[in-house]
Amino acid sequence: MAAAAAAGQGSGGATNIGRLRCARQGKAAASSAAAAVSRGVTAWHLRVFAVVVGVMGCLLLVSSLMMSAVHQVQFRNGAISRGFRGLQELKQNSVRTEQAEQIMHPRLLEMATSVITKNEPGSDSENFALWEEPYKQARKWKPCAAKHSLPGEGPEKNNNGFILISANGGLNQQRVAVCNAVVVAAVLNATLVLPRFLYSSVWKDTSQFGDIYQEDYFVSYMKSDVHIVKDLPPHLQSLDLEAIGSQVTDMDITKEATTSEFIKTVLPILRQNGVVHFLGFGNRLGFDSVPVHLQRLRCRCNFHALKFVPKIQKAGSLLIQRLRRAGAMQTEMDKQLFGSNMLDDPALAAGAGAPSRFLALHMRFEEDMVAYSLCEFGGGDEERKELQAYRETHFPTLAVRLRNTSVSPEQQRSLGRCPLTPEEAGLVLSALGYDRRTFIYVAGSQIFGGTARLRPLTRLYPNLVTKDDVLSSGELAPFKNFSSQLAALDLIACASADVFAVTDSGSQLSSLVSGYRVYHGRGRAPTLHPNRKRYAQILAEEGGIEWGGFQRRVKTMVDEYKRIAARPRGRSVYRQPRTPGCMCRARGDGSVDF
Ligand SMILES: *[C@@H]1O[C@H](CO)[C@@H](O)[C@H](O)[C@H]1NC(C)=O
Ligand SMILES: *[C@@H]1O[C@H](CO)[C@@H](O)[C@H](O)[C@H]1NC(C)=O
Ligand SMILES: *[C@@H]1O[C@H](CO)[C@@H](O)[C@H](O)[C@H]1NC(C)=O
């Protein structure tokens, strides 16, 4: 019902925009006629001509808008016609503001446009599985970190004290910190206090654990492994933890430390004071120094125990339902993401004309990322100044380092350290053979450079939406001031997508979603990773490369990332859960190999 009403609003919105523009055009026509008169060109018939042209143009515009409204309603069958409203507005904005389009690779873009507009599959696109996982071995890996409730099993009762963590970063960095803290609490036989989230000037979100994750579910799911409580007991709450030496910052522990380091440096403090506060706690626990049963705990936390609150689950489920046909619901992934809060109302779903599958693209091209990379993106002096100003505000130490050292942007680029622009992401997709009709959900917040940056991509792929297009402003209102909760909706859309395309494999959201798709995707949830260094080399040869050669090299690059292998040493288990303790490899006889 809500969707139908919203859809109505959507087409109404489009028509209103039409009327507005029409009125403006009429006025423009009249005023140009008036100008003609005042300039003394006088001819009365010229004025009549101008008005007639204005009126005719107006009528044509109205009729074409009506046609497009009808077309939209037929195509989208109501449910996500609003999806196009956002895009329409985007396009109209681009026309209105007339910003210069920011193109870095004009030659390739032209070739891509001509190839995908013809909707002709590329010379050898049949070599590339667009919507499937090409390697069947992927299906041999099964999730195996779920809780086994053995009676009488539980953590030691007389534990060593309480662990408090204040996690920094955005949604995904916090998630990693939470699951690492679970392991540290288990190692130290400590009780974990529900994690706190630090406010960051980049993410600007005051959300706490309970605003994002179901607290009770988390506590109860982990209870046979780690005691988790909501608060410190009163006698510890009044302590000044920093003053008594119970505060442990990231400076006190090696990056990717071993569990024995925690026992050596943290356990004595815990035993002495009964409490330790980890402040920050980013990436402090290594991935290879952890025994299998603790690795399992980490995956149990990340892949099973952390469920979004019902408010996020419901909005996420609505988002997915509109992005897919109803029949595609209720996959294993959906169950994991939405639990009992999965909306299952066929009336909400998109109709027959809706996309049956969609690709989610995580466009990690926000200003923080762009500024941090120290790269240049063809925007000249203006861009340079803006990024430097951003660094001064948000990354002061980096800004200082940059002033002293001579990091060349070209060098950064050739080392693969620059985030992909929307244009470069579009070129990868077209080289792989995704045609112009491909339905693309773009995750990521404020794209640096806005519409002008995005336009090369929307030109290649006009069926491109974000959550702001798929959900109405009313539906998004409860999340509006909370970037982490908005990021949760993106995470959901990316995890559920038929294909997930990453622009920056190092980004936390991309990394967590890739892992989630490996773990819960049953070997049928492909993810496309570019290798930025190789892509930079390919793009560097832009001047001479032909489209066929570009396609072949991009395909090889993406295909190599798709090979199925156990987690290599040093890699995150959250991103690559095919590792002992997390996933198990089924043998031919049906048994599993831990
Ligand atoms: C935690 O408890 C286990 C089981 O009782 C014990 O073997 C281990 O030594 C304890 N570790 C610490 C750091 O207290
Ligand atoms: C940067 O330069 C300033 C003075 O120009 C100097 O005091 C400072 O130590 C330098 N910092 C680094 C990190 O080299
Ligand atoms: C969001 O924040 C702004 C300013 O901080 C405030 O005026 C507005 O009411 C907030 N909206 C919601 C939905 O919380």
Q: Is residue 16 part of a domain?
A: no
Measured from the alpha carbon of residue 155, the closest ligand is 1
Shortest CA distance to 259 belongs to which of 185, 155, 159? 185
Q: Is residue 29 part of a domain?
A: no
Provide the Cα torsion 476, 477, 478, 482; round to 10°.
80
* pLDDT of 488: 96
Nearest CA to ligand 3 atom 7: 481
Q: Which residues pair with 279 in a beta bridge?
A: 166, 249
Q: Is residue 161 part of a domain?
A: yes
Q: What is the mean pLDDT of residues 197-222?
A: 91
Alpha-carbon span 428 to 410, nearest angstrom: 21
Lowest-confidence segment of 14-18, 268-272, 351-355, 462-466 by average pLDDT: 14-18
Residues 320 and 339 in one domain: yes
Backbone φ and ψ for 515, nearest 5 degrees, come out as -65, -40
323 touches 463 (CB < 8 A) = no
Measured from the alpha carbon of residue 481, the closest ligand is 3
256 touches 286 (CB < 8 A) = yes
- Six-digit token string for 379: 């925007």
- One-letter amino acid for residue 88 of the chain: Q
363 touches 422 (CB < 8 A) = yes
Q: How far is the CA of 447 from the centre of ligand 3 (A)?
A: 22
Residues 219 and 333 in one domain: no
Q: Specify the higher pLDDT residue, 289 or 319.
A: 319
- The answer, yes or no, to whether residue 73 has pLDDT greater than 60, is no
- Confidence band, pLDDT 50/70/90 cuts, at residue 329: low
Backbone φ and ψ for 584, nearest 5 degrees, come out as -120, 150
82 touches 473 (CB < 8 A) = no
Q: Is residue 65 part of a domain?
A: no
* pLDDT of 316: 95
Q: How far is CA 505 from CA 377, 531, 533, in A?
A: 19, 8, 12
Q: How far is CA 360 from CA 77, 373, 431, 547, in A?
A: 22, 23, 17, 24
What is the β-pairing status of strands 583-586 and 141-143? antiparallel
429 touches 122 (CB < 8 A) = no
pLDDT in tens, 447-471: 898 888 999 999 999 999 999 999 9
Residues 158 and 169 in one domain: yes
Residues 229 and 106 in one domain: no
What single-letter DSSP state applies at residue 252? G
Q: How far is the CA of 404 from the centre of ligand 2 (A)?
A: 6
Give yes or no for residue 62 CB within 6 A of ligand 1. Answer: no
Check the CA dihedral 458-462-468-473 and report its sign: positive
- The answer, yes or no, to whether residue 317 has pLDDT greater than 60, is yes
366 touches 446 (CB < 8 A) = yes
* pLDDT of 199: 86
Residues 425 and 502 in one domain: yes
Q: What is the mean pLDDT of residues 25-35?
A: 40
Alpha-carbon span 594 to 93, nearest angstrom: 55
Q: Give me the number of domains the chain comprises.
A: 2
Name the average pLDDT for the chain.
Answer: 80
Q: Is residue 22 part of a domain?
A: no
Q: Which of 401, 403, 404 to mutate to test the pocket of ligand 2 (most atoms within 8 A of CB)?
A: 404
Residue with tokens 């510890």: 236
Q: How far is CA 292 from CA 144, 289, 573, in A?
A: 12, 10, 11
81 touches 7 (CB < 8 A) = yes
Measured from the alpha carbon of residue 205, the closest ligand is 3
Residues 217 and 358 in one domain: no
Q: What is the mean pLDDT of residues 465-483?
A: 93
160 touches 265 (CB < 8 A) = no
pTM: 0.80
Query: Domain containing 575 — which CATH number?
Result: 3.40.50
Spacing of C-alpha 521 from chain mean position: 17
**What is the domain range of residue 522?**
76-131+309-365+419-562
Q: Is residue 268 part of a domain?
A: yes
- Confidence band, pLDDT 50/70/90 cuts, at residue 132: confident
166 touches 197 (CB < 8 A) = yes
Q: Is residue 229 part of a domain?
A: yes
374 touches 383 (CB < 8 A) = no
* pLDDT of 588: 58
Residue with tokens 């762009």: 370
The per-residue DSSP string of 339-403 comes to: GGG----GGGSB-TTS-S--EEEE---BHHHHHHHT---S-HHHHHHHHHHHHHHH-HHHHHHHH
Give yes or no for residue 481 CB within 6 A of ligand 3. Answer: yes
Give yes or no for residue 204 CB within 6 A of ligand 3. Answer: no
What single-letter DSSP state applies at residue 39? I
Residues 440 and 332 in one domain: yes
Q: Is residue 403 part of a domain?
A: no
Give yes or no for residue 160 CB within 6 A of ligand 1. Answer: yes
Residues 185 and 82 in one domain: no
Give yes or no for residue 480 CB within 6 A of ligand 3. Answer: yes
Residues 235 and 251 in one domain: yes
Three-state SS at 442 = strand
In percent, the amount of the chain with pLDDT more than 70 equals: 76
- Report the phi/psi class of residue 523: left, alpha or beta, with left for phi > 0 and alpha for psi in -120 to 50: left
pLDDT in tens, 276-285: 999 988 778 9
- The answer, yes or no, to whether residue 55 has pLDDT greater than 90, is no
Residues 184 and 230 in one domain: yes
- The answer, yes or no, to whether residue 94 has pLDDT greater than 70, is no
Residues 356 and 262 in one domain: no
- One-letter amino acid for residue 522 of the chain: R
- Confidence band, pLDDT 50/70/90 cuts, at residue 158: low
Three-state SS at 536 = helix
* pLDDT of 26: 37
Stated as kind and residue range, the H or E segment containing 166 is strand 162-167
Q: How far is the CA of 478 from the centre of ligand 3 (A)?
A: 10
Stated as kind and residue range, the H or E segment containing 464 is strand 464-465
Alpha-carbon span 337 to 320, nearest angstrom: 11
Residues 509 and 432 in one domain: yes
- The answer, yes or no, to whether residue 500 has pLDDT greater than 70, is yes
